[in-house]
Amino acid sequence: MKYMRQMLCIMTLLIIAGCDSRQSAFTGLGPVSSRITLLIWIMFIGAALITLLICVLMMISISGPAGWRQKLTSKKSIVLGGIVFPTVTLTVLLIYGFLILKAGETLTQAENPVRISVVGEQWWWRVIYRHDDGRTTESANELRIPTGRPIEIELTTADVIHSFWIPAYAGKIDMIPGRTNVLHFIADKPGIVSGQCAEYCGGAHALMSFYTVAMTPSDYEAWLAKERANARPALDSQGEQVFLSSGCGGCHTVRGTQANGKIGPDLTHVGSRQSLGAGILPNTTDSFTKWITQHKSIKPENLMPPFNIFSESELQSLSAYLNSLE
């Protein structure tokens, strides 16, 4: 009995966890996702009503009065209920769905959107902010957006098919090799939600997520100016020295230092992000240590070589340095 109750508690917790609004299509934090949420409810309630109707009809056909049963089997009711009704319902739903798909685009055509490119990589996100002057700022594994302004995201991939999905803001769109897909949405109010790769893309697919931070327009502008700037010179040069001399710069860029690798995520302001390893670890000094020493077990198959060469003090100063890159 006690066991049963425990199981019930666990099951309930699991189900409640599914309701976490951070990564839920029911959250509807913007006009695009609100419409999708509405569509979901329409379909859900409609389907429930139709199911109920079918149940009633079945009851009648089994044990209802003879006259009603007669009517049910007539040619007219079969044509109406079996052909006309589903055709009309599905057509209306399809057209409504298409309209919702277009909705984002028409929203953003109204005014100058915020332009961001996201490149899917095994197994992380390369995020490129496109400034009005034509220049770009590269970041990774986190999306920052202003509220109230339309957002236009160009989606491409560096390797296989990924799918970009922030359920709270918009539907998912695939990132397909050789193609550029565009996603539009608007965030209504500030907040942090999470997104996820929604198309199986190899080993660490399930661990390829990211946070999206919606900020007020003034906060966003301030953040973008900071993100655009080079990394501040390190206070403690020992960590920077370990970073540069150990070859980290072969894959990672820290703008303002010699590290200019383009293979892995840009780390110029990694310390200011919500998470490490593409939404896997909280962003703390300890997490950096954990990532450097155990990333092969934290995120199996990720493409970074194992770096188990650091002494305790090197590891500490390296982690502190990375965490200080804000």
- 70/164 Cα distance (integer angstroms): 53
Contact partners, residue 251, CB within 8 Å, separation at least 6: 261, 262, 263, 264, 304
Contact 114, 151 (CB under 8 A): yes
Which one of 69-77, 161-169, 177-185, 241-249 is the stretch in contact with other proteins (CB under 8 A)? 241-249
- 324/135 Cα distance (integer angstroms): 26
Q: What is the 3-state secondary structure (H, E, C) of 80-102?
A: HHHHHHHHHHHHHHHHHHHHHHH
- Min dist CB 230 to other proteins, Å, is 11
When binding is defined by CB under 8 A, the residue of 136, 258, 294, 313 that contacts other proteins is: 258
Contacts 24+ apart (CB under 8 A), 60-67: none
Which one of 18-26, 166-174, 282-290, 302-310 is the stretch in contact with other proteins (CB under 8 A)? 302-310
- Min dist CB 247 to other proteins, Å, is 3
By CB under 8 A, is residue 245 in contact with other proteins? yes
Nearer to other proteins among residue 175 and residue 318 (C-beta): 318
Return the structure tokens found at 160.
């296989």
Return the structure tokens found at 274.
């919500």
When binding is defined by CB under 8 A, the residue of 97, 191, 203, 261 that contacts other proteins is: 261
Nearer to other proteins among residue 123 and residue 165 (C-beta): 123
Nearer to other proteins among residue 26 and residue 310 (C-beta): 310
By CB under 8 A, is residue 263 in contact with other proteins? yes
The burial of 175, by beta-carbon neighbours within 10 Å (0-12 exposed, 13-18 middle, 19 or more buried), is given as buried
Count the residues of the shown chain that bind other proteins, applying the rule CB under 8 A: 17
Which phi and psi angles does 118 have, rounded to 5°? -125, 125
- Min dist CB 257 to other proteins, Å, is 7
Tallying the residues shown for the chain, one arrives at 326
When binding is defined by CB under 8 A, the residue of 179, 305, 313, 326 that contacts other proteins is: 305
Nearer to other proteins among residue 10 and residue 263 (C-beta): 263
Nearer to other proteins among residue 20 and residue 301 (C-beta): 301
- Min dist CB 273 to other proteins, Å, is 22
Contact 158, 179 (CB under 8 A): no
Picking from 129, 187, 115, 200, the residue whose alpha carbon sits closest to that of residue 160 is: 200
Q: Which residues bind other proteins (CB under 8 A)?
A: 245-247, 249-251, 257-258, 261-263, 303, 305-309
